[in-house]
Amino acid sequence: MFEGKTLGTPIAILVRNKDQRSQDYREMATTYRPSHADATYDAKYGIRNWQGGGRSSARETIGRVAAGAIAKKILREIAGVEIISYVKRIKDLEGVIDPNTVTLEEVESNIVRCPDRECADRMVDLIEQVRNQGDSIGGVVECVARGVPRGLGDPVFDKLEADLAKAVMSLPATKGFEIGSGFAGTLMTGSEHNDEFYADNGEIRTVTNRSGGVQGGISNGENILIRIAFKPTATIRKEQKTVTDSGEEVTLAAKGRHDPCVLPRAVPMVEAMVALVLCDHLLRQRGQCGAVNE
């Protein structure tokens, strides 16, 4: 997923590139990158891999994405669930996207995975500009799960929103999680915020979806909608003040290949984690309450 462009590259070249890359990381063997896991890993384990392929690399998520692909298939075939994730905002550039109708094709139609094409173009320009400055930027990924059956989730500790929050906050670089109205919902009154019920051919539906598809920890049949904040990448080429592992104060300007914006790559990770949580709760629901209706 992360190394897509090198697929098909002869092994000899890969090895040479790897040597080159390892050299780029050499300074990091002793110098802690600000806001990176370097220092905390050393504090906890007394050892860490600084060559770029260590356990704090987002490469770790490849196994999650693989498992998520199976979870998505189970969800689709057993319960008709569809999960789509996309870049909602990069820094202050926010796309206009309807989560109820967005398609995978729209998401994959451009390199930043933002289905609002015009906004996507501006995002690409912004990332290019930030890259040239040796800096980095973050943003917000949104994810919608459509067709989720009613009843998934537990009423106390394993509330559906709690498990979704843990799942996505276990991805690298995440700083925040929202479901439905999120933080903005705290500016409304209850009468404005509540999702009124109506009867739709015998089925109970809500007019609005500020709950984000979950009420009291349990899915209500509406679309599940979450947003995740990803911070700007920690490793940048700009010079920063930091310390070495022996406590010496130095400056660091990272060399090597560092992505100035992880958002487009985070999209499939978010999708995978949401799929794993929903699939798990689907199986628990079958265990407790019998077959899930489609």
Using CB under 8 A as the binding rule, the residues of this chain from 87 to 116 that contact its own copies are 89, 91-92
- Give the Cα-Cα-Cα angle 60, 61, 66 (nearest 5 degrees): 120
CB contact at 8 A, 81 and 73: no
* Nearest CB to its own copies, comparing residues 8 and 202: 202
| CB of 14 vs its own copies, minimal distance in Å | 24
DSSP codes joined into one string, 257-270:
---S--HHHHHHHH
Contact status, residue 169 vs residue 273, Cβ threshold 8 Å: no
Residue 223 token pair: 């679309």
Taking CB under 8 A as the binding criterion, the range among 10-18, 19-27, 85-93, 104-112 that sits at the site for its own copies is 85-93
Per-residue contact flags (x/-) with its own copies for residues 37 to 76, judged by CB under 8 A: xxxxx-xxx---------xx---x----------------
Residues 226-245 that bind its own copies (CB under 8 A): 229-234, 236, 238, 240-243
Q: How far apart are CA 159 and CA 110, in angstroms?
A: 35
Binders of its own copies among residues 4 to 23 (CB under 8 A) are none
How many residues bind its own copies (CB under 8 A)? The answer is 108
What is the Cα–Cα distance from 76 to 74, expressed in whole angstroms? 5
Phi, psi values for residue 56, rounded to 5°: -90, 0
| AA identity, residue 263 | L
Q: Which of 28, 163, 268, 269 binds its own copies (CB under 8 A)?
A: 163
Provide the minimum distance between the beta carbon of 60 and its own copies in the complex, in angstroms, as a whole number.
6
Q: How far apart are the first and last CA of the chain?
A: 32
Helix (H/G/I), strand (E/B), else coil: 231: coil
Establish if 121 lies at the interface with its own copies (CB under 8 A).
no
Q: Binding to its own copies (CB under 8 A): which residues in 168-227?
A: 169-170, 172, 174-183, 185-199, 202, 204, 206-207, 210-212, 214-221
Per CB under 8 A, does 151 bind its own copies?
Answer: yes
